[in-house]
Chain A
Amino acid sequence: MQLIANITVLAAIYALLACGYVLIYRVSRVMNMAHGELAMLGAYLLYTTASLFADHPVGAIAAALVLSLTVGVLVYVALMRKMTGQMVLAAILTTIAIGILLRGVIVLIWSASQQHPLQALKFSNPSIELIGGARISTCAALMVLATVAVYAALFAFLRFGRWGMRLRAAGQNPLLAAQRGINLNAIYALAWALSTLTGSIAGMLIALDSGLDQTMVVIGLKAFAPALVGGLDSLLGALFGAVIVAAAEVLAIHYIDPLLSDVVPFLVLIATLIVRPWGLFGTREELDRV
């Protein structure tokens, strides 16, 4: 039972981070290598707002969410606007550079030592006993709930919302979308904002659960595996990919070797690339093959 609980929690983390990759890739065909750093930045923003609004935890969380949305828009407007649609290498390198920059800036502002936003918010994190004797912490449970909520909201937004439809249209064919009067810049900015927001939610919940330091970047990179396993342009795929990768990782840690935890997602990724490079639910035409 404990194993299943662990898999669920890890899958929730991966799914919440992976949907950020999927959103940006689906709309603008850019792989955002700075996603882990942006998630980390969101968590640090929560840490700051928590100490600013010491008595209003809800206000602090809301402020941090708004700030992370702004960060997403700013990253697009200031940097990625020039790079979207450019050579793959240039776009990837720009996001990598953004990541490096953010890492440095975060240490400069908040120092490299571990922070605990949980205490700053004056929350406690008791563990909950589930049916079958498994135990998970409250924050982990919140993580699962948040993932369900975010995915439900994203599906509803993309399926029924006016802006969601525009987003899908821009992803399908930017030229036609632009000719139908869709403001591509606004759409791309929206995708970056949403991606940063969901990433930040993940970052905040991870930080609440297990403290906050630079290791979050690695989780962010590992979360790319589920996004690709499921198919880079499919949200549903990200969900399935997250479950697959999380299951593989937890089982490998439990039965083989704890050191494997950092490679298993990448092994799954390589296997996917060999067998089915476009992922479980991805669009096949994505890959231009010789």
Chain B
Amino acid sequence: MENLGALAVLLAFCLSIYAVFGSAVGALKKKPFLILSAERAVYSIWILLTLASSLLVYALLTGDMRLAYVAGRTNHAMPTIYKFTAWWGGQEGSLLFWSWILSSYSAVVTWTNRRKFRQIMPWVIAVLMSTQCFFLILNAFVESPFQVLAVGKGVVAVQDGRGLSPLLQYWAMAIHPPMLYLGYVGFVVPFAFAMASLITRQPGDAWIHTTRRWTIITWLFQSCGIILGAGWAYAVLGWGGYWGWDPVENASLLPWITATAFLHSVMMQEKKGMMKVWNMALISATFLLCIFGTFLTRSGIVSSVHAFGVSAIGKYFVAFIAIGLGACVYLILSRLDYLKSEAHLESIVSRESSFLFNNLILLASCFAVLWGTLFPVITEAIMGEKVSVGAPFFNRVNIPIGLFLLFLTGVGPLIAWRRSSLESLKRAFLWPTVAAVLLVAVLIVAGIRHFYALMSFGLCLFVAATIVSEFFKGSRAIAARNNMNLVRAMVELTHRNTRRYGGYIVHMGIVLMFVGFTGAAFNKDDTVEVGMGETFRLGKYEMKVREIQDGDTPNYMWQRAIVDVRKGGEQVGTLRPERRIYKASQEPNSIVGIRRRLNEDLYLNFASMSQSSSDKAVIQAFVFPLVSWIWIGFGVLFAGSIICLIPPKVRLQYARTEVVGVVQKHAKVEK
């Protein structure tokens, strides 16, 4: 069976090479049949990789302990769902998963465009398949998931496997990697369209229109992946953080930031025909950072340069990234003539320049994260001495950048295209500014002195007020004209221009998430040793350990503290923080007890039993103000992104013709 799997991967590898050359040569020599056969190779690769993946999943589910991958990632007692998720729980499997998603995307793209874009499609396929080919090299020759445990010339099976890391045996962790991968891999598609349009010297920006929906969906997958990771860290790692700036987390954030910048700056190209080179650069950067992210996660370079030297996979990634970077730079530079801007900037105070600022700040934060992640590697290489760049550094650098970005979130969308008069600025920003200043004053009076927290709350209200006033003004006009109530008018308004108002809702989600992040300035924590029946306090809460239970399941043993929580003398609930030790891996894990409320979370971690007296439990208690707003904000962001994807009721068309420098004609055509 493992031979069949390995053979399928090998065949897929051969086919991917064929698809690259078939479609490229077919396009150059104008041979439609060659192109068609390359398209069929794309479907065949999907079938072969689906077969290989099914075989691996079958081996995981049935516990075929002859396979090194199965023995390393599962054990018999593990719940079936985690046996399935072990597909992406380890190096070899997750790389196969990457390949499989890419092949699925490629098949979908090839199928849906089989009668469209005949000129660029062969090159789209060539770019997609080059990436596919790279990953298949890894699957087939470097990190094969189908290796068997062998002694001498015989295949051996172990009694039972080591099991999936207990940290990964959690629901959010089961879907976090697929979401991130769907996002990572998804950006290969708009990248392929961009490159194909460069190669064929397409004059327009068809690639942007074609891939707009695709880009938003993959961006949404990436966002889901990142937030699920944060939710997982919060609920599983036991120290209450949702973001630790660890290299792997940073790896997922980097392409998300450039993708966000891209989503904004393509609007400039769609509406004004500007920033064409920049958009090409951004989509290339996003693609390369997706590959780079996989490289960071998979090669272990950040833990040490030496680990990188040992890892076989790193060199392949470096080579691929170098080739990709070279190709992107060459293509963009050699086709600058086709990327000329169609319009000019007319004023510093305009939507155009606010987009430029937005891009600058997003890229600054991207650079700061990338720099921080790689700095230890750089110092080790240059100074021979390793330093750490941990959460304190990233917080210090990124908080000011993030706040400025929040400010632009409020300002940008309200500044008119071309130029804004002072009067219109005043109209748009007077009340939001007043509200923000008032809020900051009230908070100072209430005793809050934390500078960033004050700034953040003020800006959150500022942005929220601008968004609400946009909705209100628009829907009031519609309500008056069409004689409908305000809520109905608001739905109508959103439906007429889903992109704009969906975008506002996404911004609102970001504001709510910032409220949640800001809560971290007021975290409280304590660590106590308590015996049964003893109470301890944190903030407004009084907690009493009623009982400590223990038990056993086939997969792990557990020990649980039953803690009664009182607030203001009243019993408000019972938390059950738990510790587990997994039998196969002998690794511990904690399942924290969280009382989630909108104003604050009470978070208890059962750290261990006391080492001085064995009947006392060590409990770490935390109060995390406002943290729930991060998850709520993400819900809003999700809803907003979905709205962006709904086709608008009124189709907007922007004719980008210039009329003698006085006015640019924007024709609004209703269908």
State whether these chains interact. no
Which residues of A are interface residues toward B (Cβ below 8 A)? none
Which residues of B are interface residues toward A (Cβ below 8 A)? none
